[in-house]
Structure 1
């Protein structure tokens, strides 16, 4: 086996709020508690382990590769919550999606200011691993 990402810690003010928000927007299984973490499992076996941090949370960027129907569902959930989304990571094109590399993408913020992304085609237009 080569090197694979297994999990990463997402620092937040409230692990319940942040993990549940993430899972709900992306349509994932309900997060579960493990030690001091609230864990969100992704389709490829990687987990995001949400952990509370006192003080300021430095915003990070988390990009999720999704299929077309999941993208539509994510966008619908964002709009239903009245969240602002952008076509670009600099957050200058509000209410738009991008069409980079022949796919679709958007950016939005979680409750701690992390910039979340949903994109249907990886950067550079490379095929998804499951598409050959």
Structure 2
């Protein structure tokens, strides 16, 4: 007989972020969103990377981003693990000064009873990072992005 059981795992572990990830995390703790510029093709990546994903050259120049940008795409999440109340909105954003896309929560969007976003929200909406008061150097130091 094949049986299933509900199991809860709590895992504590440490991750070495390396020099680039550590500086990016320190920026988050300080309320600063950093990207890195590729030495070769000059593309700016956020989160910061050590090597360009496009041309594989080092990305050694640090760029401070304003934390604002434009929604390129989004999805309404109805089913997901975790403590965040559902439904919620995840956005794919192109931040000002960055060439790649950045994924994070979008907040302050009133969803309809069926979970649909308002008709006046969608790709092209301008957004800004909203920072947590107490920051620890984690991506969740950005509480969410709000629509401007």
Give the TM-score normalised by structure 1. 0.31
Give the number of the structure whose residues are more often helix, by fraction.
Answer: 1
Whichever of the two has the greater Rg, that structure is 2
Give the TM-score normalised by structure 2. 0.28
Give the number of the structure whose residues are more often strand, by fraction.
Answer: 2
